[in-house]
């Protein structure tokens, strides 16, 4: 009791506001994201400032330690859901509520919800869903299963921008409407209420209620409304860009490496499999996957070099390049979740590499590779506030990958193993491409936003952000089970997903993909990508793939592209199935059908059925391989299916 009181008093002293926002009394951190947790400090700058009781305590009463990199940020993730709890809400009974299958209705004045750009007053496309991620866990005790009300932006939001989220009348189960909380009802009426400061009421009167009304939601109809401000784009990209630029300046075209093994003709289509180490600049406090690992920041505010480290790589030289029958392409390959660069030994990659002349190299996505499994699970089981060590290692992983790709056509290219008749098969003039699947598609979108060496990439079965992806993926079921044991109600669990999303944004699609093509990062070219995704994928859901495509901006889709469960495929430019597109002019989404029954593809935030999982099928279809080849070789995007890509189950 004394400990809880001491925490409360300390939090109150540190905050301009009380530690909880009482307009949603269901959970201290709700509604979220919320400028209530971004007060203006003594310097006049608004920064995130949570207390150690803002986020839920776990089952043992352990705090979520906000000193581990959560405070002091100039805003919230632009890839975050607006989340609150509306008791007994009936989404299906509420007309004019924008859902996953008709999110374009969120732009209409008749929409029950409005996500509003406060600078322009314009509505922003979004969809609303109830959290179903705890349904199975709480089935025996429905009182624990309080489904959060979540509104996902259809695409990444702008950086450094204030948004208002407003909810009008929502039907209640059993009839009538969900009632506002007492605090919000008082604010709506302009009446005083204990715990509501006059300054906050004035803020709602000036900056929230008028915007909601201008968007078509009358003040008296509001169930809840609040505002939040996204962090600057530099918040998410600053450290990674600095690490990239420092590493390239230190290593450039002269990466040091050593070869530890050479295996001739290990498999059909492969002339040589090579293992070795590349020496890379290291910016982390630890080499091993310790949960306290962080990026070391110097006095200049930039990541600081800690020395050099040898990182393993794998290289595949196809037979067609070794015998001189195909010109070589310098291809970087990104592996899947908790895997390793050894994924390069998959047979379908051997076939593609041989047919297309791909000399392929890869390193591990440290942070989410095989060597991280134990430390990642330990963190989830013990202290989610230490999640930042994963994003720190992912920063180093991208640095390693960018350097390994450059090494392939510079210093390594001069090695005799990459020569035919005494002549190097790769040089700085060689074509350079990126290809990755699953996590390699997800992290590949970041790689393609950062790369200064390639402009063309294929992202196989990717998605983003992780906040959309994780509850919809069977791959995270075991980690969810751990979280469910630590947090005994569904609202607390989904709030932890929001917390994780805030950290993931530092190095996942939500922080970067708006810079992939339309607005390149400093000293970085425009990039074009193909996104291949499949109906019924139980590991990286199509919802996350489509969000990724919309967030890149300017993405196209053929008229015949798959519409999963008859959703509208909102936000893409449709082109004729017979069109041949310039491969440097943006990118394209291509979906693949596998005749998965509709009942195996939930529209809620749940995974598709494992029994009909298509995750590994899309990349192996002849159509996907052919579209990739033409894009990489001819700089042309065309529809290899002539219409819908309807594949064999």
pLDDT in tens, 414-433: 999 999 999 999 999 999 99
Tell whether the model's pLDDT for residue 10 goes beyond 60. Answer: no
pLDDT of residue 91: 97
Q: Do 344 and 371 touch, CB atoms closer than 8 A?
A: no
Q: CA 37, 41, 44, 46: dihedral to nearest 10 degrees?
A: -20
pLDDT of residue 143: 61
337-365 pLDDT, tens per residue? 999 999 999 999 999 999 999 999 999 99
Alpha-carbon span 523 to 245, nearest angstrom: 9
Tell whether the model's pLDDT for residue 369 goes beyond 80. Answer: yes
Beta bridge partner(s), residue 177: 171
What's the pTM?
Answer: 0.95
pLDDT of residue 585: 86
Q: Do 196 and 22 touch, CB atoms closer than 8 A?
A: yes
Alpha-carbon span 238 to 231, nearest angstrom: 12
pLDDT of residue 5: 38
CB contact set of 4 (below 8 Å; sequence gap of 6+): 53
Res. 586 pLDDT band, cuts 50 70 90: confident
Alpha-carbon span 250 to 465, nearest angstrom: 32
Q: Do 114 and 212 touch, CB atoms closer than 8 A?
A: yes
Res. 598 pLDDT band, cuts 50 70 90: very high
CA distances from 633 to 200, 432, 583, 629 (A): 58, 10, 10, 6
Beta bridge partner(s), residue 277: 258, 312
Q: Do 271 and 317 touch, CB atoms closer than 8 A?
A: yes
pLDDT of residue 4: 43
- Starting from the edge strand earliest in sequence, which strands make up the sheet with 224-229, in order? 113-117, 162-167, 224-229
Sign for the CA dihedral angle at 383, 387, 393, 394 comes to: positive
CB contact set of 405 (below 8 Å; sequence gap of 6+): 330, 332, 361, 432, 434, 451, 453, 454
pLDDT of residue 141: 67
Q: Do 155 and 500 touch, CB atoms closer than 8 A?
A: no
First to last CA, the chain: 59
Alpha-carbon span 385 to 506, nearest angstrom: 15
Look up residue 50 and give its DSSP letter.
Answer: -
CA distances from 144 to 30, 107, 382, 495, 509 (A): 17, 34, 22, 15, 32
Alpha-carbon span 585 to 604, nearest angstrom: 34
CB contact set of 198 (below 8 Å; sequence gap of 6+): none
Q: Do 547 and 532 touch, CB atoms closer than 8 A?
A: no
**DSSP-based three-state secondary structure for 284:** strand
């Amino acid at each position: 009791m004394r400990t809880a009181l001491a925490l409360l008093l300390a939090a109150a002293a540190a905050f301009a506001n009380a530690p909880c926002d009482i307009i949603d009394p269901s959970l201290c951190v709700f509604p979220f994201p919320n400028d209530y947790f971004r007060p203006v400090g003594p310097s006049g700058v608004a920064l995130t400032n949570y207390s150690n009781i803002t986020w839920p305590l776990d089952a043992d009463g352990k705090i979520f330690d906000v000193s581990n990199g959560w405070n002091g940020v100039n805003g919230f993730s632009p890839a975050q859901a607006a989340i609150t709890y509306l008791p007994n809400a009936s989404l299906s009974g509420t007309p004019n509520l924008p859902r996953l299958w008709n999110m374009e209705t969120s732009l209409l004045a008749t929409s029950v919800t409005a996500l509003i750009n406060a600078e322009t007053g314009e509505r922003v496309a979004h969809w609303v869903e109830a959290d179903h991620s705890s349904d199975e866990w709480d089935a025996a005790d429905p009182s624990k299963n309080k489904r959060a009300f979540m509104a996902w932006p259809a695409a990444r939001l702008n950086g450094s921008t204030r948004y208002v989220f407003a909810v009008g009348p929502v039907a209640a189960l059993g009839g009538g409407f969900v009632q506002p909380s007492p605090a919000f009802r008082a604010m709506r009426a302009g009446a005083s209420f204990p715990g509501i400061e006059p300054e906050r009421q004035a803020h709602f009167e000036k900056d929230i209620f008028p915007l909601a009304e201008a968007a078509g939601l009358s003040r008296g109809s509001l169930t809840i409304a609040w505002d939040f401000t996204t962090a600057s784009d530099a918040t998410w990209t600053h450290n990674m860009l600095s690490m990239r630029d420092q590493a390239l300046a230190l290593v450039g075209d002269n990466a040091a490496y050593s070869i530890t093994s050479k295996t001739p003709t290990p498999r059909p289509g492969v002339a040589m499999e090579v293992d070795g180490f590349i020496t890379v600049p290291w910016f982390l406090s630890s080499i091993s996957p310790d949960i306290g690992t962080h990026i070391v920041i110097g006095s200049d505010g930039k990541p600081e070099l800690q020395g050099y480290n040898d990182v393993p790589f794998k290289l595949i030289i196809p037979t067609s390049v070794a015998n001189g029958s195909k010109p070589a392409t310098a291809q970087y390959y990104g592996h899947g979740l908790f895997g390793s660069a050894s994924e390069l030994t998959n047979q379908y990659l051997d076939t593609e590499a041989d047919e297309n002349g791909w000399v392929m190299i890869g390193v591990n996505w440290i942070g989410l590779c095989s060597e991280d499994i134990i430390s990642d699970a330990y963190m989830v089981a013990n202290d989610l506030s230490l999640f930042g060590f994963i994003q720190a290692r992912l920063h180093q992983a991208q640095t390693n990958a960018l350097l390994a790709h450059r090494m392939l056509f510079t210093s390594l290219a001069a090695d005799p193993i990459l020569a035919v008749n005494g002549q190097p098969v790769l040089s700085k003039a060689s074509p350079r491409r990126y290809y990755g699947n699953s996590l390699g598609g997800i992290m590949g979108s970041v790689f393609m936003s950062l790369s200064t060496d390639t402009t063309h990439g294929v992202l196989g079965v990717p998605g983003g952000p992780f906040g959309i992806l994780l509850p919809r993926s069977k791959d995270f079921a075991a980690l969810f089970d751990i979280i469910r044991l630590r947090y005994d109600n569904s609202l607390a669990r989904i709030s932890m997903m929001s917390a994780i999303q805030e950290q993931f944004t530092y190095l996942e699609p939500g922080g970067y993909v708006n810079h992939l093509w339309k607005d390149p990062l400093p000293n970085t070219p425009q990039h074009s990508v193909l996104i291949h995704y499949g109906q019924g994928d139980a590991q990286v859901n199509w919802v996350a793939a489509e969000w990724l495509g919309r967030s890149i901006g300017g993405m196209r889709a053929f008229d015949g592209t798959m519409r999963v469960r008859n959703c509208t495929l909102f936000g893409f430019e449709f082109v004729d199935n017979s069109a041949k597109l310039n491969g440097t002019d943006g990118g394209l989404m291509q979906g693949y059908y596998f005749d998965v029954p509709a009942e195996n593809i939930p529209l809620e935030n749940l995974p598709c059925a494992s029994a009909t999982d298509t995750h590994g099928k899309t990349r192996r279809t002849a159509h996907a391989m052919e579209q990739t080849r033409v894009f990489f070789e001819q700089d042309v995007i065309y529809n290899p299916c002539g219409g819908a890509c309807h594949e064999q189950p």
